[in-house]
Amino acid sequence: MAGKNISEAELINQETGGKFKALPEMTLTTRLILGECHMEIAEILKLGQGSVLELDSIADQPLELWVNDQFIAKVLPVISHDKVGAQIQEIASKEQRMREITLQSDE
């Protein structure tokens, strides 16, 4: 039998037994974490427009891409046509990403 081209949505449906049929149409929250800092509440209350937060050192380290509070990939920042973007350097395996989504949907 000749190979049939199927969409990614159909592939996901087949691999998950239909459990995630609507998965490709879901809206997800995506975060790109540049760095972290720890502050006391008193310092946070003093923040205002123009305040600068000093982040932990991020030089030469990949940034983290998170989708719905699940780590997905390590990325490097890039500038393209005066816009900031992210180039994926290392991505979690498909199995790991699906497992994380499965765990979230069961909660």
| Residues of the chain above pLDDT 70, percent | 65
Query: Would you tell me which CATH number, out of the four given (2.60.40.10, 3.30.390.10, 2.30.330.10, 3.90.170.10), belongs to the domain 8-34+61-106?
Result: 2.30.330.10
pLDDT(1) > 60: no
Q: For residue 26, give both structure tokens.
A: 């879901």
d(CA 102, CA 107) in angstroms, rounded, equals 9
CB 55 within 8 A of CB 35: yes
78: confidence class by pLDDT, cuts 50, 70, 90: confident
47 versus 53: the higher-pLDDT residue is: 47
SS3 75: strand
pTM above 0.85, yes or no: no
SS3 33: strand
Q: What is the DSSP string of 78-107?
A: EEETTEEEEEEEEE--HHHHHHHHHHHHH-
Q: What is the DSSP string of 22-39?
A: TGGG----EEEE------
- DSSP assignment letter at 19: T
| Residues of the chain above pLDDT 90, percent | 12
pLDDT(46) > 70: yes
d(CA 13, CA 42) in angstroms, rounded, equals 50
Question: Residue 20 has what pLDDT?
Answer: 61
Q: For the sheet with 70-80, list strands across it.
A: 30-33, 63-67, 70-80, 83-91
Average pLDDT over residues 98-107: 63
21-40: per-residue pLDDT in tens? 666 677 788 888 777 888 99
